[in-house]
């Protein structure tokens, strides 16, 4: 009986974490802990160093090709990225956690029309940032501290409000 209740609770948590509804995930705001540093390969053959983004608000999207809600996050992040890429004070980066790496991620990114930079990471890095499911968006403030995180889908306008708050804190 206890195992059944525990299993039901875990299923409910998993459904919440992979919620297909905008704003359906859990959010922790104002965590104010330093973001773990990373340097990861990007799909263009270069690398992305989080430390080089100091002074910008960084939106990190932890996602996977096998995650159905992650498909729906792409248009929202594309719209947000289009609004901010020219100003240079906000960066959006997608961190793919697929074990198969660029061979699987590259075609998915092209098929989905992703416009923002994509790097190849893993689930261990996602866990360092507190990801409980995918997609998980982590907002890193210009000073390098984690401002907030959001599990599940988020709309571009809601993300806009969170980033404005991160820039002002």
**DSSP symbol at 42:** B
Q: What is the pLDDT of residue 5?
A: 34
132-164 pLDDT, tens digit per residue, is 999 999 999 999 999 999 999 999 999 999 888
Nearest 10 degrees: Cα torsion 96, 23, 131, 92: 40
Q: What is the DSSP string of 82-129?
A: HHHTTTSSEEEEEEE--TTTHHHHHHHHHHHT--S-EEE--HHHHHHT
Residue 146 CA to residue 95 CA, distance in Å, equals 16
Per-residue pLDDT for 84 more than 90?
yes
pTM above 0.95, yes or no: no
Q: What is the pLDDT of residue 31?
A: 44
Q: How far is CA 167 from CA 36, 76, 101, in A?
A: 19, 20, 32
Across the chain, what does the average pLDDT equal? 85
* Residues sharing a CB contact under 8 Å with residue 102, sequence separation 6 or more, in sequence order: 41, 43, 120
**2-168: CATH homologous superfamily?**
Glutaredoxin (3.40.30.10)
Residue 95 in tokens: 């961190």
Q: What is the pLDDT of residue 10?
A: 32
The stretch 16-41 carries a mean pLDDT of: 62
């Amino acid at each position: 009986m206890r195992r059944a209740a525990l299993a039901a609770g875990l299923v409910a948590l998993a459904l919440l974490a992979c919620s297909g509804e905008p704003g359906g995930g859990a959010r922790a705001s104002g965590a104010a802990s330093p973001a773990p540093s990373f340097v990861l390969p990007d799909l263009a053959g270069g690398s992305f160093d989080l430390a080089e983004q100091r002074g910008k608000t960084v939106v990190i999207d932890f996602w996977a090709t096998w995650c159905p809600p992650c498909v729906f996050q792409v248009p929202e992040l594309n719209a947000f990225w289009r609004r901010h890429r020219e100003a240079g004070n906000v960066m959006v980066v997608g961190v793919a956690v697929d074990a198969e790496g660029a061979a699987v991620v590259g075609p998915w990114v092209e098929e989905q029309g992703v416009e923002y930079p994509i790097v190849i990471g893993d689930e261990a890095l996602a866990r360092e940032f507190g990801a409980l499911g995918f997609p998980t968006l982590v907002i890193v403030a210009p000073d390098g501290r984690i401002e907030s995180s959001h599990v599940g889908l988020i709309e571009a306008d809601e993300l806009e409000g969170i980033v404005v708050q991160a820039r002002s804190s």
